[in-house]
Structure 1
């Protein structure tokens, strides 16, 4: 090691490193808060005819299903298709919400893969 070079970190590099750690801590705290918010959300998905509604949290946890009496009268196969459509709608809305919130949290950080 050449005298005066230390580990190759100048004061500027140390400041950048400290700022990176600070940002990482902020993102970690924001991610924890976001997770709590997503757990409390109730996102509704519905079938195209509105006879079935599925409710999920913001992190895709199923919460409940509401089925109109008229949907039951349509028979098991049609009801199954209607419930599946409502589930897909709720899932799509939930994942979109999660993605949008994560993008807000990480905006400006230039994280790879985000």
Structure 2
């Protein structure tokens, strides 16, 4: 009766190396995500109500509202029309902010083959 020695738990050196590489990549992504969070927080992304920029909304890259600017021309609108202009500018700033965040996350995780990304 021979006993197989040295086989461990079925993990070869190759598997251990893969696990180490995966752990290192995870650490890199975590550090990159923290840096990205800071960058997004410091960004100012402008959204506009229309081509004339009657209303401008500024948000951070994390969708934090920062400022609303209403042009003198826009002030002559009815309250309902002004509300629509502000809403349009907010939606534009939000869309730009979301797209920026998505692009930055894709750049951070590119080549890592992470599930769900």
User: TM-score range with shorter-chain normalisation?
Assistant: over 0.9
Name structure 2 gaps, 5 residues minimum: none
Q: Which residue does the alignment assign to 2:54?
A: 51
2:84 matched to 1:81?
Answer: yes
| Cα displacement (A) at 1:50 | 1.0
Q: Which secondary structure does the structure 1 equivalent of 2:66 belong to?
A: strand
Q: Which residue does the alignment assign to 2:39?
A: 37
**TM-score, structure 2 as length reference:** 0.93
Following the alignment from structure 2 to structure 1, what is the Cα–Cα distance between the partners of residues 79 and 87? 12
Name structure 1 gaps, 5 residues minimum: none
- Bigger Rg, which one: 2
| Cα displacement (A) at 1:4 | 2.4
Number of corresponding residues: 114
**TM-score, structure 1 as length reference:** 0.96
Q: Which runs of 4+ in 1 moved over 3 A?
A: none
Following the alignment from structure 1 to structure 2, what is the Cα–Cα distance between the partners of residues 39 and 93? 14
| Cα displacement (A) at 1:3 | 3.1
Following the alignment from structure 1 to structure 2, what is the Cα–Cα distance between the partners of residues 2 and 100? 52
Q: Spell out the pairing of 1:13-32 with structure 2 (5 A cutoff).
A: 13-32=15-34
| Cα displacement (A) at 1:2 | 5.0
Following the alignment from structure 1 to structure 2, what is the Cα–Cα distance between the partners of residues 110 and 20? 10
Q: Which residue does the alignment assign to 1:6?
A: 8
Following the alignment from structure 2 to structure 1, what is the Cα–Cα distance between the partners of residues 16 and 73? 67
2:108 matched to 1:105?
Answer: yes
2:68 matched to 1:65?
Answer: yes
